[in-house]
């Protein structure tokens, strides 16, 4: 009896410990699962606590429902204050259902911190840059995506009430989880005059009938009832304010751009994030992660908007290499996908002067069930892809992505069937696929961080050309792929240009060297001791000064988005 009592006590202790540890977040973070909103916050706090010397955790602002938006700054104070370095901005989950975007941000933070001091490349990137990471932009959306019943695509918007159907009421007719399983799936009803029949190979698949064929089913749409009695289902759900159509640059009203909101940055959390970014003018590269398609998108989002070829070349340094890191993705201008107004990446580039990428993450075609994964599906049969996706669900995901059709008594339609893809499917990879996805995409951010400007300065030629007059030449070199300023920022005078300042002697003349071999120089008419410039991608800028006097001459280079540099010479 004592042996049984002792065994029972040991089981009880083990169960208690296991229950206490279940869901506990520790460093390094895990990426074989999805974190809900509260767990994302806890993960950020855990990282901050584990690496207090390298991190700072800020509450950027609050959402419409009062949830806090957190930003984690990663910076090594031993190599300088954050604003003295190139800034790398990363965010995700701007749309509430796009949850794996937040996981990429968490993974990037986790990778930088846990491998700092162990991996030379990561250590260099942390020492060189200030990293600003906001894993969840749409905090209300993420919260409700996990907590509420949803389709894979619902809970996308900022939760600002709106009368979608023009009946004077707001958000009164959204989806209804009729069977209470936590998912909003499809409804179908048997109908001999319907437009659909079941696929002969898999009765879960609905295919359109051909002319003259007998119908079997009518699709009724997603789960729901007519809550407002207007004869329609699910036509007035939460929102709709699209968090990626509400930014300031090239904003258009709702009759032009759906989801635009009443005015730019009307989203409370978006305004707070904009203020956060504006207060960090050192940000030179930014990534906004979304969830579907396998794409790297750059500006412009409308074809008529001009982008300087040198800026496209700088984008290409990252974009073309990103394709090799994330095989199967495409790299293109946003408008090649579709035109958008008031989008975040355009705002970041044209308002904040930072190169910006939208990363669309998951490729559903990676859910394969075939011998040769490189061989694409044969065209011509619309059921091929659904069949393979269902086999992937059955054989690889163990049936977790799809709900089998089951009968249900609908209050209006009577006997129907409910089934289809669950909310954690379609636009989201199964958790077993998540580690590779977050690592590859975070590696692209690391590539960009490695390519922020690295400026060196040297005095490369000194000649005495008079009694106390010297000709001094200075070379500034950028060893990396991103320029110190975009061409658009220079052209529009978005912010002050980089500055080269000479002190310690009287500068009689100074200007940019156009051709050192023939001494062709464009001299600045006034205040030649101060030169304004921008150093291009993998570029060099050379300046010549005629300096009168003796002693130490100091050259100081300063930039809003690149680290300062200093050189000196004794005359």
Q: Which of 353, 309, 302 is nearest to 537 (CA)?
A: 309
**Torsion on CA atoms 283, 285, 356, 281, rounded to nearest 10:** 10
Residue 245 has phi, psi (to 5 degrees) of -135, 15
Structure tokens that stand for 33 in this block? 């699962």
d(CA 127, CA 78) in angstroms, rounded, equals 8
d(CA 93, CA 134) in angstroms, rounded, equals 9
pLDDT at 375: 61
Strand partners, 515: 520
> 25-145+262-364+433-450 in CATH: which number?
3.40.630.10
d(CA 202, CA 393) in angstroms, rounded, equals 13
Q: Count other Cβ atoms within 10 Å, centred on residue 510.
A: 22
Strand partners, 541: 476
Query: How does DSSP assign 200-217, residue by residue?
Result: SS-TT-EEEPPTTPPP-E
Beginning with the edge strand found earlier in the chain, give each strand of the sheet holding 206-208 in spatial order: 206-208, 196-198, 217-222, 186-190, 414-421, 402-410
Structure tokens that stand for 442 in this block? 């975070």
Angle at 448 between CA 442 and CA 452, to 5 degrees: 145
Cβ distance 539 to 482 under 8 Å?
A: no
Distances (CA, A) of 544 to 70, 319, 469, 475, 534: 47, 36, 13, 9, 16
pLDDT at 169: 87
Strand partners, 73: 56, 132
pLDDT at 193: 96
pLDDT at 383: 54
pTM above 0.75, yes or no: yes
Structure tokens that stand for 146 in this block? 């996990």
Cβ distance 314 to 482 under 8 Å?
A: yes
pLDDT in 10s for each residue of the chain, 571 residues: 334 333 434 333 333 333 334 468 999 999 999 999 999 999 999 999 999 999 999 999 999 999 999 999 999 999 999 999 999 999 999 999 999 999 999 999 999 999 999 999 999 999 999 999 999 999 999 999 999 999 999 999 999 988 888 888 888 889 999 999 999 999 999 999 999 999 999 999 999 999 999 999 999 999 999 999 898 999 888 888 999 999 999 999 999 999 999 999 999 999 999 999 999 999 999 999 999 999 999 999 999 999 999 999 999 999 999 999 999 999 999 999 999 999 999 999 999 999 999 999 999 999 999 987 666 544 445 458 899 999 999 999 999 999 999 999 999 999 999 999 999 999 999 999 999 999 999 999 999 999 999 999 999 999 999 989 999 999 999 999 999 999 999 999 999 999 999 999 999 999 999 999 999 999 999 999 999 999 999 999 999 999 999 999 999 999 999 999 999 999 9
> 455-570 in CATH: which number?
2.60.40.10
| Enclosing H/E stretch for 127 | helix 120-128
d(CA 332, CA 71) in angstroms, rounded, equals 29
Residue 29 has phi, psi (to 5 degrees) of -65, 160
Helix, strand, coil shares of the chain, percent, nearest 5, are 25, 25, 45
pLDDT at 266: 97
Residue whose tokens read 């464009």: 522
pLDDT at 238: 85
Cβ distance 538 to 564 under 8 Å?
A: no
The two domains 25-145+262-364+433-450 and 455-570 share their CATH topology (first three levels equal)? no
Query: How does DSSP assign 66-132, residue by residue?
Result: SPEEEEEEE--GGG--GGGS-EEEEEE-SSTT-THHHHHHHHHHHHHHHSTTTSHHHHHHHHH-EEE
Please state the domain extents for the chain: 25-145+262-364+433-450, 162-237+387-425, 455-570
Whether the bond into 207 is cis, omega within 30 of 0: no
Tens-place pLDDT, residues 492-518: 999 999 999 999 999 999 999 999 999
- The alpha helices in 148-237, defined as continuous H runs, are none
Structure tokens that stand for 567 in this block? 């050189």
């Amino acid at each position: 009896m004592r042996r049984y009592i002792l065994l029972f006590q040991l089981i009880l202790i083990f169960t208690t410990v296991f229950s206490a540890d279940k869901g506990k977040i520790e460093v390094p973070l895990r990426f074989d699962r999805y974190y809900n909103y509260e767990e994302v916050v806890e993960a950020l706090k855990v990282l901050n606590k584990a690496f207090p010397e390298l991190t700072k955790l800020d509450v950027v602002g609050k959402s419409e429902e009062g949830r806090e938006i957190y930003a984690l700054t990663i910076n090594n104070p031993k190599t300088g204050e954050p604003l003295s370095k190139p800034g790398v901005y990363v965010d995700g989950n701007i749309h509430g259902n796009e949850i794996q975007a937040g996981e990429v941000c968490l993974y990037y933070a986790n990778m930088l911190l846990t491998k700092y001091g162990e991996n030379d490349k990561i250590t260099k990137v942390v020492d060189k840059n200030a990293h600003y990471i906001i894993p969840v932009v749409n905090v209300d959306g993420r919260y409700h995506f996990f907590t509420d019943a949803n389709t894979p695509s619902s809970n996308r918007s900022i939760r600002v009430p709106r009368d979608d159907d023009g009946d004077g009421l707001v958000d009164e007719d959204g989806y209804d989880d009729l069977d209470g399983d936590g998912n909003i799936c499809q409804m179908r009803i048997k109908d001999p005059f319907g437009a659909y029949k079941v696929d002969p190979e898999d009765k879960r698949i609905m295919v359109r009938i051909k002319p003259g064929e007998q119908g079997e089913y009518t699709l009724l749409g997603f789960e729901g009832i007519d809550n407002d009695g207007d004869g329609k289902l699910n036509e007035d759900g939460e929102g709709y304010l699209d968090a990626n159509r509400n930014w300031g640059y090239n904003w258009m009203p709702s009759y032009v751009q759906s989801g635009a909101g009443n005015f730019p940055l009307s989203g409370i959390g978006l305004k707070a994030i904009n203020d956060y970014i504006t207060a960090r003018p050192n940000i030179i590269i930014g990534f906004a992660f979304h969830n579907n398609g396998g794409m790297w998108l750059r500006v412009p989002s409308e074809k008529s908007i001009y982008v300087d070829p040198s800026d496209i070349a700088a984008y290409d340094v990252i974009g073309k290499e990103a394709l090799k890191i994330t095989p199967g993705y495409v790299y293109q201008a946003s408008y090649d996908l579709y035109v958008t107004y008031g989008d975040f990446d355009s705002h970041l580039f044209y308002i904040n002067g930072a190169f910006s990428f939208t990363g669309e993450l998951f490729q559903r075609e990676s859910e394969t069930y075939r011998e040769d994964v490189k061989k694409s599906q044969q065209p011509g049969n619309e059921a091929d892809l659904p069949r393979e996706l269902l086999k992937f669900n059955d054989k690889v995901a163990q049936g977790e992505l799809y709900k089998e059709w089951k009968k249900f008594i609908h209050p209006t339609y009577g006997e129907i069937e409910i089934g289809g893809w669950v909310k954690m499917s379609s636009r989201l990879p199964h958790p077993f696929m998540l580690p590779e996805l977050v690592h590859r995409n975070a590696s692209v951010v690391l590539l960009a961080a490695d390519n922020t400007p690295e400026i060196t300065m040297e005095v490369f030629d000194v000649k005495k050309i008079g009694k106390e007059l010297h000709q001094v030449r200075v070379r500034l070199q950028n060893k990396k792929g991103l320029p110190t300023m975009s061409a658009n920022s220079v052209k529009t005078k978005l912010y002050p240009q980089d500055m080269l300042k000479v002190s310690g002697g009287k500068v009689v003349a100074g200007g940019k060297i156009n051709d050192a071999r023939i001494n062709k120089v464009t001299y600045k008419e006034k205040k030649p001791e101060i030169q304004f410039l921008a150093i291009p991608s993998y570029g060099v800028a050379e300046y010549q000064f005629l300096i009168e006097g003796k002693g130490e001459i100091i050259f100081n280079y300063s930039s809003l988005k690149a680290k300062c540099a200093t050189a000196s010479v004794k005359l």
